[in-house]
Amino acid sequence: MLKLTYSRALSNIDFMERRPRIGITMRLEMETRRFYLGRDYSEAIEAAGGLPVHIPLIPKNRYIEALVEELDGVFLPGSDSDVDPSLFGEEPHPKLKNVVPEKDATDRLVIEAAESRGIPILGICYGMQALNVARGGSLIQDIDSQVENGLNHEQGRPLDRHSHSIEIDRDSIIGRLESIAANGNSVRVNSHHHQAVDTVGRDLKAVAWAKDGVVECIQDPRPEKFVLGVQWHPELAWDRDRLSTEIFEAFLEACRERFGNEQRPEA
């Protein structure tokens, strides 16, 4: 009986190991010194067929290199902090919010390790901004004060409400998704950010914009790469919004392709 139970346990482990392993960088609560992450990010990855792996914010190169070596994809989630403007050569704007050095440093190391291995990357909100800065781009530090006739990009609750529209380049990862290809290039999204992409980083391309010109999506246009950043929050609606679902499906499909190319042994 014990042998049978152990055999079943091994079978379950093997099944999980065949799922693409997706590293998700965490957050740091400064007051309590706790690493944490909202459940929606991991649930979205699991529902799309991935195995979420939480990455604590320990900005040590050897640790990150060893960890990323075991991953099939990297997911850079949103954060309640801002990217340090010194990373793109600017002084802090008066409306800059809190900066978490461990978050900035860890995310940058993860991006560098993933890029050196050709691992697919998906960035959401802060994650998109961190990706852009890591590629040498810059950010608008505060939309309200720096974008003329800017929209409200901090909608508040309910968090999953589609509050403003975006226009999508049809010749892009997002633009080729079924829900966009079938229904035109305009869609409404939720919005929870006061910063945005300014100068687009190297080997990145802006592929979606809000009506006020704020960049809402970036990608690496090279066909062999899956590097995508979205400014809205599809993880909050992956179970009921088709575009949100398709974003995670496309990401996981790219991760499966890499997983298959690695030729890891089957159970």
**pLDDT bracket for residue 6 (50, 70, 90):** very low
Residue 1 tokens, joined: 């009986």
Contact present, 111 and 224 (Cβ < 8 Å) = no
Contact present, 106 and 58 (Cβ < 8 Å) = yes
pTM exceeds 0.75 for this model: yes
User: Rounded CA gap, 128 and 180, in Å?
Assistant: 20
Q: Which positions are catalytic?
A: 125, 233, 235
Residue 215 tokens, joined: 């960049």
Residue with tokens 């900005």: 59
Portion of the chain with pLDDT greater than 70, in percent: 90
Task: Output 6 or 44, whichever has higher pLDDT.
Answer: 44
Residue with tokens 């909202």: 38
Return the CATH number of the domain spanning residue range 19-261: 3.40.50.880
Could you tell me which residues come within 8 angstroms of residue 181 by beta carbon, excluding any fewer than 6 positions away? 170, 175
Distance of CA 33 to the CA centre of its chain: 23
**pLDDT bracket for residue 86 (50, 70, 90):** very high
